[in-house]
Amino acid sequence: MGIIRHLLLLIFICFSNSIFSNNDTIYVDNVSYVKYQVKVGDSMNSIADYFGVTVNDIIKNNETSLRLYLNQLLYIPLKEGRNKEEKNGFNFQRLDEKYNIALLLPFYKNLNDTMVSSFEEKKEADKIIINKSKMALEFMQGINLAIDSLSKIGVELNLVVHDTRNDSLQIEKIIQSKSLDTVDIIIGPLYSKGLKIISDNYGDDNSKIIISPLSRSSDFLKNNKSTIQINTPFKTQSKIITDHIINKHKEKKIIICYDEKEKGLAAHIENNLLKKLDSIDMMSMIYTHVDSVRRQFSDTQIVIIPSFSRSFVSKMLSTLGGIDSSFIVYGLSNIKTYEHLDYENLMYLNVHFPDPYFFNLGSKTDSVFLYNFEETFVARPSRFAFTAYNIMMNFCGPINLYKLERYKMNSGKVNTYSPLVHFKDFRLIKADY
């Protein structure tokens, strides 16, 4: 058995047992109580909101304080009329719905099987996954976790997985097979080139939706009303940034630092600010060298870095970190994906950026996902697993995680919900508004 087939088999069979069981209900003096065990990310407020009671109700009935500890057992008084089913840590009513889903991911199964064919019998073979396949496998973990959660509330899912190999010819073969003609939801491909091919064939089909999980490009949306982009495009990100600056920092000097190649991005943000502010202390400058930047800074200012270039963003953050001044820095969502960034410098510069894939442990949805994932896979989830899970729960389940708006006339929709976040104490939190 090839390594990819082996791994996928493990992913699919690990869901044979339920992760969560229903909380036990007891009755005392004609009052019903539910036993609840404190989980990762829980707070008194989140538990109270979840059960529709007050924090005082919990404290009074458990003789406890506001401080909680993991696996602590609480007895929650239930309010009359609470008739929703408890499934996987949520209060969900049964949906009893059915979806046919096609998942298009680059597993590169042919490459992986070829890679291990000469040493199939070696123990090391089971540990080898070529880097190209890693993203798809992590995405698959999130898909399967969502399938398990949704099945418990009556959602029937027929999932067909296609290996795109990130190859246009392979995607054309999938289309020619007619296997996508009868599905309700197409998730993927992951990359814009493949998305364009799928959208050109099915983008105006009102019987289905096409979901782009990761692509930043919006080219595939044009004239394809059935397409949806989860990754918030630059146009929306720039509005999120400028709205926050206008609300919080319009009195400060604003400096837009950009690379010559991305002059258009800088101009777009500059125009957004000028539309909203009659009077503004603002300048745009092309980064050339450290001294050219240093001369423009005063004691306190806002710095905007409208760039998708890893090298340029890294260079700018390093430069700003060496300037003796006070900053609030705004960048784009790609900052989160860069490896080897100095998190202390990100905190020192107070770097803010929109994050359409923000993971919030203060959220009941996200904390339950984390608990389920760690229980199932004995590992921390990647952002790809988290994204896949959210897509399934949003489009096949009862959770509304995205705000979808028509990108342009006669185009598909984009997700405009992208909270502005920044680093504090080495973790991401939402910015103040």
Give the range among 102-106, 388-392, 395-399 with minimum mean pLDDT.
395-399
pLDDT value, residue 101: 96
The domain segmentation of the chain, as residue ranges, is 25-87, 94-232, 234-355+418-430
pLDDT on residue 385 = 95
Pairing of strands 427-430, 420-424: antiparallel
How many Å apart are CA 410 and CA 403, to the nearest integer? 18
Q: What percent of the chain has pLDDT over 70?
A: 77
Rounded (to 5) percent helix, strand, coil in the chain: 40, 20, 40
Q: Please say if the pLDDT value at position 122 is more than 60.
A: no
Q: Which range among 97-111, 250-264, 354-368 has the greatest average pLDDT?
A: 97-111
Least confident of 197-211, 264-278, 345-359: 264-278
pLDDT (average), residues 342-355? 88
How confident is the model at residue 30, as a pLDDT?
A: 59
Q: What would the pLDDT profile of 302-322 be if each residue is shown by its tens digit? A: 899 998 888 888 888 888 888
CATH of 94-232, one of 3.40.50.150, 3.40.50.2000, 3.40.50.2300, 1.20.1250.20: 3.40.50.2300
pTM above 0.85, yes or no: no
- The answer to whether residue 163 scores a pLDDT higher than 90 is yes
Distance (Å, whole) CA 167 – CA 183: 21
Residue type at 20 in one-letter notation? F
| pLDDT > 90 in the chain, percent | 31
Q: Which two tokens stand for residue 264?
A: 């258009």
Maximum mean pLDDT: which of 12-16, 113-117, 202-206, 398-402: 202-206
Mean pLDDT of 243-248: 90
d(CA 105, CA 108): 9
Instruction: Report whether pLDDT(252) > 80.
Output: yes
* Domain 25-87 CATH assignment equals 3.10.350.10: yes
Highest mean pLDDT among 91-100, 176-185, 264-273: 176-185
At residue 176 the predicted structure's pLDDT band, cuts being 50, 70 and 90, is: very high
CB atoms within 10 A of CB 245: 24
Q: What residues have CB less than 8 Å from 288, skipping those under 6 apart? A: none
Work out the mean pLDDT of the chain and round it to a whole number.
80
Question: 218-233 pLDDT, tens per residue?
Answer: 888 988 999 999 999 8
Q: How far apart are CA 102 and CA 87, in angstroms?
A: 25
pLDDT for residue 17: 33
Q: What is the pLDDT of residue 412?
A: 92
Residue with the bigger pLDDT between 282 and 318: it is: 318
Grade residue 81 by pLDDT with cuts at 50, 70 and 90. very low
**What CATH number belongs to 234-355+418-430?**
3.40.50.2300
pLDDT of residue 129: 59
Question: According to the model, what pLDDT value does residue 398 have?
Answer: 81
What is the reported pLDDT for 164?
A: 94
- pLDDT reported for residue 69: 81
The whole-number average pLDDT for the span 351-366 is 86
For residue range 18-69, list pLDDT tens digits in order.
333 334 556 565 567 777 778 766 778 777 766 767 888 888 888 766 678 8
3-state DSSP call for residue 362? Answer: coil
For the ranges 103-107, 282-286, 395-399, the maximum mean pLDDT occurs at 103-107
Q: Do domains 94-232 and 234-355+418-430 have the same CATH topology?
A: yes
pLDDT of the residue at 168: 94
